[in-house]
Amino acid sequence: MRGNPDAHAMVAPGTLRAVLELLADAPGEWTPIAGGTELMVAHAAGRLASAKLVSLWGIPELRFIHSDADKISIGAGATFRDLRAHAGIAEHLPLMGKAGSWIGSIANQSRATVGGNLVNGSPAADSSPAFLVYDAEIELVSVRGSRRIPYSDFHTGYKRNAMAPDELLFAVHMPLRFARHRQYLRKVGTRRAMAISKVALAATAIVDVGNVSEIRLAAASLAAFPARLYKTEAALLGRPIDARTIEAAREAMLAEAKPIDDIRSTAEYRRRVGVNLLEEFLLELRSEVG
Amino acid sequence: MSDCHSTIRFCVNGEDRAVQVPPMRRLLDVLREDLHLTGTKEGCGEGECGSCSVRMNGELVNSCLVPVLQAEGAEIQTVEGLAASGALHPLQQAFLECGGAQCGICTPGMLMAATQLLTINPHPNMAEIREGLAGNLCRCTGFKRIFDSVIAAAAVSQDHSTEQAAHAR
């Protein structure tokens, strides 16, 4: 433990309104902390730069999952245990539960929040590829009001996002229109629990009369932030899933992926395995179509 | 910087406690150093090994990753709370009988993770046991005897509830 607890101020205002007022009074000065599964690790290592922290843990307005006929809204303070325990998510958004099961271990899932995973913005974030292929929308709040943006526009660079300094991530809204889609999510890491991914790929697709009529692909650890693979999608859209299309999609993804070498893997490994995951999904899709 | 200290109140193993500490002090350090509950161990200090696992408001948490301010008002259970009645908890007895503990550093965390698992799922299968304990590393036992201990403890509580049901009839 190299961090010094005396070096950090921390407050827990207890309500969303009070947190937003604090952020508005001194934009950029306060670092929100929810379950601490990221920031407390930085603290232990002595590299938590934030001098002032505002706790979001236990704020009831942030910890919810609401579902209705056409959407499910997940509060930023919902934990991955909450997400995995929700029957509507298991039924309509099965990739979310699968992604949630990859987050650390049970002890991490009972503290790690959906908002924390997204705002932290790790290129390897476990929940992000699934949120991307489900067309998630992000709701941001501040004392000025609230606004919504597509999650695909949220990350703007390595650990950078579209939030203003006085804003807080309030909720993620998920449309429920994927019942007809073939869905795919696979992570490659060193072991099932606790391992940060080397690469992960998510997909939702529809094949109509032999041709791909809808396709969303998203990856973790293939770019500076979790992102859709639009060029690879374009190589598939409107085409039949035959050997030529699969080869074209592989080529497109090899060109589109921009992974790096780091402690967990190499760029070359990530690119090759990422493309193999895509092929695995496309072969599943083809076998289903017959 | 004592002016930064907060008074934080919570309940540990059924007892109300109050500490005057910096709000960012780890729950782990408060338990071990301020409350002298040294059963909870520090392993990695970064949420990877599970040796500091405790239960907070009925959920399993790594106490090294909980700033104590976030434990305000919480119900905390540590390994010291398992045998509160004076008799060993069925899990503790099973770990003893099955060789589930060797050097002992991971054992308190394993016991708390296993307690959490059996609380929500009294009769887990092997896959569920493996998932429930996946965040707790042991470098001695090879895990098999720990899993055997959990199975044995689950069987004891099943016998116990069957007995109770028989008595009730």
Binary contact (A55, B69; C-beta < 8 A): yes
Query: What is the DSSP track for A138-156?
Result: EEEEETTEEEEEEGGGTEE
Residue of chain B with shortest Cα separation from A195: B48
Interface of B with A in 94-133 (CB under 8 A): 113, 116-117, 131-132
Binary contact (A43, B24; C-beta < 8 A): yes
- For residues B124 and B159, membership in a common domain is answered with yes
How long, in residues, is chain B?
169
pLDDT above 50 for B28: yes
Confidence of residue B166 (pLDDT cuts 50, 70, 90): low
- For residues B37 and B106, membership in a common domain is answered with no
- For residues B64 and B99, membership in a common domain is answered with no
Query: What is residue B49's predicted lDDT score, i.e. its pLDDT?
Result: 96
- For residues B65 and B134, membership in a common domain is answered with no
Q: Out of B81, B101, B117, pick the residue that ends a domain.
A: B81
Query: Domain containing B24 — which CATH number?
Result: 3.10.20.30
- For residues B123 and B100, membership in a common domain is answered with yes
**Which of A48-62, A245-259, B3-17, B49-63 bottoms out in mean pLDDT, i.e. has the lowest?**
B3-17
pLDDT above 80 for B157: no
> pLDDT digit string (tens) for A170-205?
999 999 999 999 999 999 988 777 788 899 999 999
Binary contact (B69, A8; C-beta < 8 A): no
Residue of chain B with shortest Cα separation from A57: B70
Binary contact (A105, B134; C-beta < 8 A): yes
A155-157 and A145-150 beta bridge pairing: unpaired
Check residues A119 and B4 and name the one with the higher pLDDT: A119
Q: Out of B47, B81, B115, pick the residue that ends a domain.
A: B81
Helix axes B144-168, B107-120, angle to 10 degrees: 40
Confidence of residue B1 (pLDDT cuts 50, 70, 90): very low
Binary contact (B66, A40; C-beta < 8 A): yes
CB A192 within 8 A of CB A95: no
How many structural domains are present in chain B?
Answer: 2
A78-81: long-range pairs with CB below 8 Å, 24+: A78/A113, A78/A114, A79/A35, A79/A109, A79/A110, A79/A111, A79/A112, A79/A113, A79/A114, A80/A108, A80/A109, A80/A112, A80/A113, A80/A114, A80/A117, A80/A127, A81/A106, A81/A109, A81/A110, A81/B59
CB A33 within 8 A of CB B91: no
- A12 closest CB neighbour out of B59, B72, B117: B72
Read off the pTM.
Answer: 0.94
Query: Domain containing B155 — which CATH number?
Result: 1.10.150.120
The verdict on ipTM greater than 0.90 is yes
pLDDT above 50 for A168: yes
- What is the pLDDT averaged over residues B133-145? 95
- For residues B74 and B117, membership in a common domain is answered with no
Domain hosting B142: range is 90-168
Confidence of residue B2 (pLDDT cuts 50, 70, 90): very low
pLDDT above 90 for B86: no
- For residues B10 and B63, membership in a common domain is answered with yes
How long, in residues, is chain A?
290
> A58 at the B interface (CB within 8 A)?
yes
Q: How far apart are CA B113 and CA B117, in angstroms?
A: 6
The CATH number, out of the four listed (3.40.190.10, 1.10.10.60, 3.40.50.2300, 3.30.390.50), of the domain defined by the range A182-289: 3.30.390.50
pLDDT above 80 for B160: no
- A58 closest CB neighbour out of B21, B70, B117: B70
In CATH terms, the fold of domain A60-175 is 3.30.465
Query: What is residue B165's predicted lDDT score, i.e. its pLDDT?
Result: 57
> Which residue has 């073939």 as its token pair?
A182
Q: Which of B24, B78, B117, B131 to mutate to test the interface with A (most CBs of A within 10 A)?
A: B24
